A and B are shown apart, each in its own frame.
Chain A
Amino acid sequence: MPAPAQHRLIFKHIDEAGYSNDLACYVRNGGYEILRKAVTRKPEELIDEVKKSGLRGRGGAGFPCGVKWSLVDRKSGKPIYLVVNADESEPGTFKDRYIMHQDPHQLIEGIMISCFANNVKVAYIYIRGEFPAGARILEQAIAEARAANYVGPSILGTAYGCEIYVHRGAGAYICGEETGLIESLEGKRPYPRIKPPYFPAVLGLYQCPTIVNNVETLCHVKHIADMGGEAYAKIGTPGNTGTRILCVSGHVQRPGYYEFEVGKCTLGQLLHEVCGGPLPGRTFKAVIPGGSSAKILRFGERFKGKRKVGAEMADYDWGVEDIPMDFDSLAMIGSMGGSGGVIVMDDSVSMVEALGNINAFYSHESCGQCTPCREGSLWMKKITARMVHGAARPEDGQLLKSVADQIAGRTICAFGEACAWPTQSFIAKFGDEFKGYAEAKKAPRAVDAPELV
């Protein structure tokens, strides 16, 4: 089956010749018209549209955006904050950066509509420290939008006002975790909070109700306000509505950004057709479908079971290539859609070394607050580093798995899973490679094997 055409909603204008990230260009292409209409509607209506749209968060967890908004404590009398999670740190993910660089006003319009809908008076964009250019672009764009009365004390002549501030992080993966982000925004170390009791919807920023949404999610809100929730829900597949941006990196002919209706494109179509297949003379070995913390998939493995198709239950028997790229299918086969970062590895890659790289990242990024993740992530890194650079033992694979099993599900935040899932899945799917790594190391390296950094 040929791959479906891309459905570019967020990326409608991005990459068009002559499309620039200034206000004039955005307005020329119909920008802020949706906000203009939105502020004439009732806020509850807009929330309702988002609920009906079935929009799921694009940051990683895929939590329904409308549900998130409906959990917000609106009776406390405290101000409600919107925090835009632009701390895009998951390895393999680079969509939010591109949106902010290429079309910042789309994000600002999405933020303003969301703020209006939720009666938010102050929004913060928390942008990761490694994105200084993006921060400057956003600051510039906010200034332009403010001058044109799209942001500020009285937007578009209404009584409604809302400010947006850009806050730069200092470069820490954990600031992408929403409560860690809130702590960081408050000026503290980004130690994620315990939930309960600190659910952001009730006790978030400055202990006030807070909505934390991903950049891409808020851009979708703009389109939902435009076309209506029901129309939006028709895009994509049931339960996995709308479009989503897939960031493909690694060993394919054409890595890059691709926006598809959720679930309409399979992993095989994406990699073989859209991205042009493996590099010459190579074959695909493995793929991580949703950012480096998602569980890895091995080409050649089969996934069998029953799934819901419409109202019926149907058998499925998929290879990796057959998996639809949506939240539910990827969760069903034991991985996740995550942040949409698809990392492809071909047969030149040693899985031990690849895991060594991932473990190095997570041990460096563990905040150190709670025991299992703090100690476990570094231990796993020390083991894989020893395997790669020192003496590997046949039993190291099992030890790695056992360490990972002691982390997942026992930590304050989802970082525990993020750092344990790669190890668990690498060992589950490439256990033999770990067992035989001591022998494999003695063999001469393939001529064109990538160098380890």
Chain B
Amino acid sequence: MIQPATPTDLITVNIDGREIAVPKGTNMIEAARRVNVDVPFYCYHQKLSVVGNCRMCLVEMGMPAVDPATKAPIMDPATGKQKVNWMPRPTIACATNASPGLHIRTTSPMVKDCREGVMEFLLINHPLDCPICDQAGECKLQEQATGYGRGYSRFIEQKNVKPKRTQLGPRVTLDDERCILCSRCIRFSKEIAKDDVLGFTDRGSYSTLTCYPGKKLENNYSLNTVDICPVGALTSTDFRFKMRVWFLKQTDSIDMESSVGANTVVWSREGVVYRITPRQNDAVNDTWMADSGRVLYKAVRGSGRLESVRVNGAESALDFAVAAAVELIKAGGAAVVGSGRSSVEEQFLAKKLAAAAQAPAWLVSRVGEGDKLLISADRNPNVRGALVTGLIDRLPGDRLDELAAQIDAGTVRTVVALGEDLAAAGLTSAQLAKVAIIYLGTHANPTSEAARVLIPTLTVFEKHGTVVNQQFRIQRFAKAVPGVSGATDDLLALAKLVAAAGGPALGADVGSLWPVIAAEVPALATMAYGNIPDTGLLLDAAPWAGLPFVEGPTLHYQAPAKEAARA
């Protein structure tokens, strides 16, 4: 299903003597990256407009010599190649696009001198408070000072003094002295977040980043400015002074707020998550994610976490709880309420459970308003996973009205709720009281209160799995931290229930489960868990093309036209 790359005009450029073919219009930083030549920069960002203000990417540029009159190439007799006219002044690589025959030099004495000069200038008024700076360890200024600086200072004057802790908004704190005025944050706010609130006041070396009068940096994407700040000027108020970044383990994950499925990195240490940042996926979220997705980890250690298996309110062992649950299920009149927040693997097992119990299955819908960027209208991250695995064959309705009616009619007497609060999904307390509830979930809620059998399970940060986003892109998330004590892996609990209910004996981890999934789920046939790329894999969405999905356009997603949906 991956579209073949569209053929583009390739042109040959020469970087430090090495020829490389790049698409026309590629800038020289990106072209150099392809041949593993590092052109250092601060202000350039591949997803933002080019302003060329840091001057760190200065390189020497040359063009093939031609006779001005005849336009015939001028050859160099010494080499037999066309002569190159090198420009006397350095040029910025970020704003220089590849043109046929373009030559650049990144290692000449002039380029070295330019980089040393810019590094020196950036550091003279920089506070050099790295020992207490959150950016230390992931700071471009540190890295490039080491890589390209002179290593000593000639500055004996007083440094400029600027505000040290400005609250730009509820989540972002600014240390103006560290700011190198690259304007990435300003451009992000204007161009990506479409919330033009940042700007510079004063001028020259006294320029100061600030919000426009009466404005705050409070949009739901404000923390991206912290991610793209090359230095420690913009810091996350939440993460500030909490942990050294080099102690943190990075785990690839997925933002579970909506069906966009933004790619993320979860940063943890010794079983504790400290922050979540976006992970680049040019087909999904570029290099961005919403602020709201960055605090989801707080639920791991949040209040109300379920930490013991219970049967009829009494603490119990897992196997005893499974037996009790299966007894209820086998009594007949069972129903399964699955979740669009569960992984594909969990939904697959939920389907198996429903089949073994001969129970109907529903999914709880969560529809909000899309923000046209990285939060879509469908706040369930994995409704499409439920479609793909066959847990459901149509989109979930607004409320669980059908289930409610069957409970009222007495045809449903036992409900297996997989992470979903039935009260929040529209069932009344009378209806909850009328049925026996088997609840698998992470946090306490009215459904867990009412449950006869309660099996605590894991949050997304504590387990492995896959989800299918609005583009029908299947993406993996990995376990960042161990599960809390008393909680059971969802797959293990479900596999035990399936087996006890008379279904097949299935693996209780993604590795052993996937061969079964690939064999049974047509859309996932020929796939293996380990082979899904870090940026996901597009599935064939054709079988579900007619469904009226709720999402509107977001970044890299265009909702299929309604006509197409009807056809």
Contacts and interface: CB of A to CB of B under 8 A. Distances in A.
A412 B53 contact: yes
A6 interface: no
A383 B156 CA distance: 9
A93 interface: no
A406 B115 CA distance: 9
B157 A363 contact: no
Interface string A352-378: 000000000001111111111011111
Interface stretch (B121-129, B131-139, B526-534): B121-129
A383 B157 contact: yes
A196 B28 CA distance: 14
A180 to B, nearest CB: 11
Interface string B28-65: 00000000000000000000001111111010000000
Contacts of B203: 172, 364-368
B117 A410 contact: yes
B205 A378 contact: yes
A368 B200 contact: yes
B118 A372 contact: yes
B154 interface: yes
A365 B205 CA distance: 10
Contact of A382 (B89, B157, B207): B157
A87 to B, nearest CB: 15
B205 A375 contact: yes
Closest 3 CB pairs of A and B: A406-B117, A375-B121, A368-B207
Contacts of A412: 52-53
A322 B510 CA distance: 88
Interface residues of B, number: 37
Given A194-B95, A369-B53, A375 B200 contact: no
A195 B285 CA distance: 31
Contacts of A364: 203-204
B387 to A, nearest CB: 46
B121 A379 contact: yes
A300 interface: no
5 contacts: A371-B55, A371-B181, A375-B121, A409-B90, A412-B53
B205 A370 contact: no
Contacts of A370: 52-55
B13 to A, nearest CB: 16
Nearest to B117: A406
Contacts of B89: 409-410
A189 interface: yes
Interface string B225-254: 000000000000000000000000000000
A301 B50 CA distance: 45
A399 interface: yes
B204 A399 contact: no
Interface in B169-194: 180-181
A375 B122 contact: yes
B118 A368 contact: no
Contact of B181 (A194, A368, A372): A368
Given A194-B51, A406-B120, 18 more contacts: A172-B203, A194-B50, A363-B204, A364-B203, A364-B204, A365-B203, A365-B204, A367-B204, A370-B52, A371-B54, A372-B117, A374-B207, A375-B122, A377-B204, A377-B205, A379-B124, A410-B117, A412-B52
Contacts of B50: 194
Interface residues of A, number: 33
B390 interface: no
Nearest to B207: A368
B231 to A, nearest CB: 13
A411 interface: yes
Contacts of A74: none
A386 interface: yes
A19 B125 CA distance: 54
B158 interface: yes
Contacts of A407: 117
Contacts of A366: 203-205
B205 A411 contact: no
Interface centre among B89, B117, B207, by most A CB within 10 Å?
B117
A379 B181 contact: no
A290 to B, nearest CB: 21
Contacts of A197: 95
B206 interface: yes
Contacts of A379: 121, 124, 155, 157
B217 interface: no
B205 A368 contact: yes
Interface string B126-166: 00000000000000000000000000001101101000000
Given A369-B53, A371-B180, A406 B205 contact: no
A375 B124 contact: yes
B265 interface: no
A367 B202 CA distance: 9
Contacts of A409: 88-90
B337 interface: no
A412 B55 CA distance: 8
Given A372-B121, A374-B181, A410 B204 contact: no
A409 B206 CA distance: 23
Given A172-B203, A364-B204, A366-B203, A371 B154 contact: no
A369 B181 CA distance: 7
Interface string A218-249: 00000000000000000000000000000000
Contacts of B56: 371
Interface string B262-296: 00000000000000000000000000000000000
B92 interface: yes
A399 B122 CA distance: 17
B114 interface: yes
A368 B121 contact: no
Contacts of B114: 406, 410
A372 B154 CA distance: 15
B157 A374 contact: no
Contacts of A363: 204-205
Nearest to A391: B156
B360 interface: no
A369 B180 CA distance: 10
Contacts of A374: 121, 181, 204-205, 207
Contacts of B125: 375, 378
A213 B207 CA distance: 29
A203 to B, nearest CB: 13
A367 B51 CA distance: 14
Interface in B79-109: 88-90, 92, 95
Contact of A194 (B52, B88, B90, B118): B52
Interface string A185-212: 0000101001011000000000000000
A384 to B, nearest CB: 11
